[in-house]
């Protein structure tokens, strides 16, 4: 199945969760090397847009995800704009984190959540799955694993950031792993019932 992403970190995380024997392909494996537009106003919209783009180009079953960090004190920002939060910085994780920490400075409410939405197109039909993990934003980054906002996000019930966790530990609790497991369960159920 095609995972509509060019982000190698996402690919590694999702591939690590997939059952043995399932190898994910990317749009590049099908000659799609251009950036897939992400212009929608919601995570659901972006995930569907990416999946539809790849499905129309290949005719193959595929899925795409979009993830946002939603910070309560910032009214849910950066949300759907998480990867492009620092204006003009593109996908610059460091600039995004610096701007987020600056915007939170002086406030006590650091509650946040990561939310992932996966859009699956299977036999021409669209399906959506969601994964959420609650947590808080640290005052400064810590750790070298993961990507994006991982160095400043501490999941509820833990004393480490996602960036301080090995991938195996992060994949037990993360928003993306929760969402991916819902996708796997859906596909497994269909396969077991001959659908």
Give the catalytic positions in this structure: 66
- The answer to whether 170 is a known ligand-binding residue is yes
- Do the annotations mark residue 149 as ligand-binding? yes
Q: How many residues does the chain have?
A: 195
Task: Kindly state the tokens that stand for 195.
Answer: 């659908």
Handedness of CA 81, 82, 87, 90 (dihedral sign): negative
Is 8 annotated for ligand binding? yes
Q: Is 171 annotated as a binding residue?
A: no
29 marked as binding residue: no
Which tokens go with 73?
A: 């004190």
Please count the CA atoms within 13 angstroms of the CA of 46 that sit on its side-chain side.
21
161 marked as binding residue: no
Instruction: Give the tokens for residue 48.
Output: 């569907």
* Helix ranges, the chain (H): 8-17, 43-58, 93-104, 167-173, 175-192
Q: What's the CA gap between 180 and 74, in Å, rounded?
A: 27
Q: Known binder of ligand: residue 72?
A: no
Q: Is 67 annotated as contributing to ligand binding?
A: yes
Binding-site sequence positions for Mg(2+): 66
Binding-site sequence positions: 5-10, 66-67, 147-150, 170, 175-176
Binding-site sequence positions for substrate: 5-10, 67, 147-150, 170, 175-176
């Amino acid at each position: 199945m095609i995972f509509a992403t060019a982000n190698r970190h996402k690919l590694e995380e999702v591939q690590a969760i997939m059952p043995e024997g399932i190898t994910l392909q990317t749009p590049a494996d099908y000659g799609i090397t251009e950036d897939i537009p992400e212009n929608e106003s919601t995570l659901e919209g972006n995930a569907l847009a990416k999946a539809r783009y790849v499905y129309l180009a290949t005719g193959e079953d595929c899925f795409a995800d979009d993830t946002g960090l939603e910070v309560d004190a910032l009214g849910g920002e950066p949300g759907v704009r998480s990867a492009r939060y620092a204006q003009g910085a593109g996908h610059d994780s460091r600039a995004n984190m610096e701007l987020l920490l600056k915007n939170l400075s002086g406030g006590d409410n650091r509650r946040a959540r990561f939310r992932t939405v996966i859009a699956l197109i299977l036999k021409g039909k669209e399906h959506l799955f969601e994964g959420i993990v609650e947590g808080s934003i640290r005052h400064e980054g810590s750790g070298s694993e993961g990507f994006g906002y991982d160095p400043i996000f501490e999941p509820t019930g833990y004393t480490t950031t996602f960036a301080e966790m090995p991938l195996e530990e992060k994949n037990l609790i993360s928003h993306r792993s929760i969402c991916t497991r819902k996708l796997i369960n859906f596909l497994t159920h269909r396969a077991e019932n001959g659908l």
